[in-house]
Amino acid sequence: MDGILTGLNTAQRTAVTSEASVLQVLAPPGSGKTKTLTARVAYFIAHRQLKPWNIIVCTFTVKAAREMQERIRGFVGDQVAKKLKIGTFHGIALRYLRQYGKHKAIVKRIIAQAQSELDPAAARSRISTQKSKGVSAEQFTSTVSKNVEQRDFSQVFSLYQAQLKACNLLDYDDLLLVCVQLLRSHPECVANVEALLVDEFQDTNGVQYELMSLLAQRRNVITIVGDPDQSIYGWRSAEIKNLGRMKEQWSDTLTVNLEENYRSSGAILHAAQMIIEQDESRPPKKLQATHTIGQRPVLRKLPQARHEADWLTAEIKRMRALTGNMLELSDFAVLLRSAALSRPIETSLGAAGMPYRMIGGMKFYDRVEVKMLLDYLRVIDQPSHNEALARVINAPSRKVGDKTVEVLQREASNKGISLWTLILGFAQGRTKVTTNLNAPAQRGIEQFVNVILTLQKKLAADPSGLYELFAQLQKMIGLQEHLKTKYPDDHETRWSNVEELMALAIDAQVQASTEGHREEEVDGPALGDGAVDESALTAFLANAALAASIDEKVVAEGEKVHQVTISTIHAAKGLEWPVVFIPACYEGSIPHSRADDNDEERRLLYVGMTRAQAMLYLSCPGKSTRQEDTTMSSFLEQPGVSSFFEEHGPSISHAEVQSLAVTLQRCCPDIAAIAATAAALDLQEDNYWPLTGELPFTEASWQEGAHQSSAMPVFGNARSASWANSTTNPGEPSTLGFGFTSVKDRFQSLMEEQEEKQTLRLDRLAGKHQDGQGPKGKKRQIEGQGSIATFFGKKPKMVEEAQPTMMPESELPVSLPPYARPLRDISNLNPEPIRWTKPAGKPASLLAHKPRTAPLYKRQPATHEGVRQSASVSESLTSSSVAVSTGHLNESEIDADPRPAPPNTTPAALPPFRPPASLHTTSMQAVAARGPTLGMRRSMQGWGSRGGKR
């Protein structure tokens, strides 16, 4: 028994040796829950003398069951461990139900017999969902609506269950349901069970909870291990409420909290705890790190999703170099909220020549809908591609079966022509085929040929219009409706993959345009006679094939390589890596736009963060892969969260490398080895991308020696068919639309934006001086605009000179190359600073004057005396050298003017005049003869003030 308890902390010992019949062990990430659970099994056998064949241990995966059995074998030996009942819930149920059969063919046959339009795979998935909720076919039929599709599914569900019963078969989900029925009616089947232990209890659904209760119904000795903060499978019918339900059913339940974390550094745990504690409904739990504080997590802002992928790839290179290659590629993981987000990351890793592997999903270019579109494009680009044509001629369905396609391929081969030539001649009535084709198949072939010819014509008219080609292709084949029909459960995810591929087409289109403009503006050597002018589509397909085949090439060469891991967060649960990246942390991604439970989305982010051992990176692009503006995830925008994160990647010293080696239990490279690998880096700091998430100033193709990135392929020319060897100019607009902008226009717009920002900054600075640093809510006066106080004689405040703050050139890092310097204020490019001065030759009070919009005095009726007086004023002003605008100043404003009056100016001799107002009567109007009036005379006075007269 002493060996069983060796290496356990106080909380783990308490859980292992507890005498409680019903025990809940709440184990946060990295707290040693598996070690605790296996030690309790060994303790039951060694100390309580329980028989191993009477102990049941339930897990959620076969892999976890095997790992647990290996650990128990180390405690009690191989012979005893073999007698334990360890397995998944379904595996345990199978021990009590000996008969099990195939069900896939049954569903397909039933759908065919019922002449239903349901997809067999989708129907099986829906049946499984209903059974996981404990809903039988009879119960579902009683609640079905009048919807035709619902009635079809109800019929298939009922016939399916009847067929299983007739054949004495059970499907995978029936294992649990029928086992529950069996143990209810025959409890003596589990009378020998002395103890039940369950791992990952927070992921159990209602049926599994009931099965747990029935398995332990004789002695009620139950130990569960779980963590409510890691309940992330609600979409699979998992119920986090089972923890509370368990306490209600067994009131004597004892809860033990494991608080010590053996996986992550202190800084990572503090940040993760800050996120999860936003859920006030969760039970409070402590999480204590056993490692040093380590590097603070990073929360990085980037301009766009492709820039985010480039930064991620660059950071992997930088961290490997700065640690002397102590970190391998397999030490890095990229965890995604959804698999559709992997496209730009896969592209960037492929461009850098970094092999990667996918967990919890297929690689982007291996997904069905992506392969379908690429095959269509291959046929459009090269119709003689028989394999691609054979794969898409009946996708979506055109009633051209596999056997028909096979016979057509054989006929084309016998005639020595391509399959496309054969069906094209048949569709156009120029060729007869010997293959027997029914009417639906003939129409299907004609429809397919029409799609290809239409798109070839469109491509010929606009060779660079990749996005438009994609858009028309998916519309002509009805791809979105096809996905909804064939994959009803995950059609939205699949359509997201289509949109990702279309976004890649937009990037390729813009890249091809940028390359074309550069060739026009830069005089270079002409292409030789042997050069091939690739179309944008050909280059696009070549680079897609290259990105998809990098890992295959490495495996084929027999090399043992380390690979970066790309995984969904769901699939990463239970795993760990030294360095973890979580990109796309914005609203709509995490929390997901289709998520019903925000609390579960928060727990998902928490699970992803706690996969990291030593370093953690979170990032948010300003624009998604679909060029939509994004907002930082609400989980990361809560007050106080930013204090737990750095804004950029860490600077790594040798002491920090040593600390990292201790955390990972590895040998630390010496200073010379680190210096040698770091010397190969262009930038040893994460300072290329501005912290604000904007594009760096050097991201312009017009600048000599600008930063070159290999993350994007070069499209539309023959100079590069490889993303890994291409050089690009990432100077296209940050807001990509369906068109593109030339380099010259882009540069001009950049300069105008910088000038506008500088002008606004100086305006704000001048406003602060003028307003005397007033309260923040006070409206700033524009220069030259007065107020009511200045109009009635209050001495106006003078506009002070404001000099913008200049950045001394000496403060810039001289060691950095020009393209590596951070974005600077545009004012540094001007040889002279901008100064605000008073206009020469005009009184300061004139600048503060604002014309009135209403008359100061009531309009008086015009008289002959008034006309003569107005005429004299007009003559006086005409002959005077005083500017006309001076007549707008009242007496106090004239006295306040510090300038001496001009020699010929005699303001005191001027006759009295009326202050100006909008729509006032001028002297010339007063002299002019008043003719007959039609209608009401225009006036600012009301009807009543004029006595009702016109």
What average pLDDT does range 627-645 have in this prediction? Answer: 93
| Both tokens assigned to 818 | 């020009």
Structure confidence by residue, pLDDT tens digits, 585-614: 999 999 998 888 899 999 999 999 999 999
More confident residue, 11 or 950: 11
pLDDT tier, 167 (very low <50, low <70, confident <90, very high otherwise) = low
Name the band, by pLDDT with cuts 50, 70 and 90, for residue 942: low
Whether the model pTM is above 0.85 = no
Euclidean distance between CA atoms 561 and 510, whole angstroms: 34
Q: Helix crossing, 343-351 with 491-521: angle to 10°?
A: 40
User: pLDDT band at residue 430, thresholds of 50, 70 and 90?
Assistant: confident
Residue 486 scores a pLDDT above 70:
yes
Within 8 A by CB and 6+ apart from 532, the residues are 718
Q: What is the chain's Cα-based Rg?
A: 39
In this predicted structure, what is the pLDDT of residue 329? 94
Kindly report, residue by residue over 402-413, the tens digit of the pLDDT. 888 888 888 888
Strands 356-359 and 564-568: parallel
CA dist., res. 88 & res. 407, Å (int): 47
pLDDT of residue 257: 92
* Tokens 């990246």 sit on residue: 581
Distance CA 721, CA 760 (A): 45
For the chain, the helix, strand and coil percentages under 3-state DSSP, each to the nearest 5: 50, 10, 45
C-alpha span between 541 and 380 (Å, rounded): 11
Q: What's the rounded Cα separation, in Å, for the pair 712 and 717?
A: 14
Average pLDDT (145-174) is 72
**Token pair listed for 200:** 């990952």
- 48-92 pLDDT, tens digit per residue, is 899 999 999 998 888 888 888 888 888 888 888 888 888 888 888
**Among candidate residues 225, 199, 211, the one with its CA nearest the CA of residue 66:** 199
CA distance 30 to 8: 14
CB-neighbour burial class of residue 99 (10 A; exposed 0-12, middle 13-18, buried 19+): exposed
So what's the pLDDT on residue 645? 96
> Is the Cβ–Cβ distance between 659 and 294 less than 8 Å?
yes
Q: How confident is the model at residue 205 (pLDDT cuts 50, 70, 90)?
A: confident
CA atoms of 286 and 258, how far apart (whole Å): 9
> Strand pairing partners for 224?
24, 198
Does 439 have pLDDT greater than 50? yes
Beta-bridge mates of residue 565: 333, 357
H/E stretch holding 57: strand 55-59
pLDDT of amino acid 105: 58
pLDDT tens by residue, 103-136: 445 666 666 666 666 777 677 767 777 776 667 7
Q: How confident is the model at residue 336 (pLDDT cuts 50, 70, 90)?
A: very high
Among 100-109, 390-399, 677-686, name the one with the lowest average pLDDT.
Answer: 100-109
pLDDT score recorded for residue 387: 85
Q: How confident is the model at residue 8 (pLDDT cuts 50, 70, 90)?
A: very high
pLDDT score of 587: 94
- Identify the H or E element spanning 767: helix 743-771
Residue 765: band (very low, low, confident or very high) from pLDDT cuts 50, 70, 90: low
pLDDT score for 584: 94
pLDDT digits (tens, 9 = 90+) for 248-294: 999 999 999 998 999 999 999 999 999 999 998 888 888 889 999 99
Distance CA 843, CA 876 (A): 21
Give the pLDDT band of residue 549 (cuts 50, 70, 90).
low
Residues 6+ apart with CB under 8 A from 46: 1, 4, 75, 76
Model confidence at 39, pLDDT cuts 50, 70, 90, reads very high
- Please provide the size of the chain in residues: 950
146-160, 321-335, 381-395 — which one is most confidently predicted on average? Answer: 321-335
For residues 593 and 547, what is the distance between their CA atoms, to the nearest angstrom? 29
Alpha-helix runs per DSSP H in 19-114: 33-46, 62-76, 78-82, 89-96, 104-113
Residue scoring higher pLDDT (177 or 741): 177
Q: How far is the C-alpha of 637 from the C-alpha of 642, rounded, in Å?
A: 7
The pLDDT confidence band at residue 709, using thresholds 50, 70 and 90, is very low
Q: Where are the alpha helices (DSSP H) in 817-922?
A: 844-847, 864-879, 891-896
Residue type, 755: E
Which letter, b or e, does each residue of 372-397 get, where b requires 16 or more Cβ atoms within 10 Å of its Cβ? Answer: bbbbbbbbbbebebeebbbbbbbbee
Q: List the one residue out of 430, 428, 467 whose CA is nearest residue 450.
A: 428
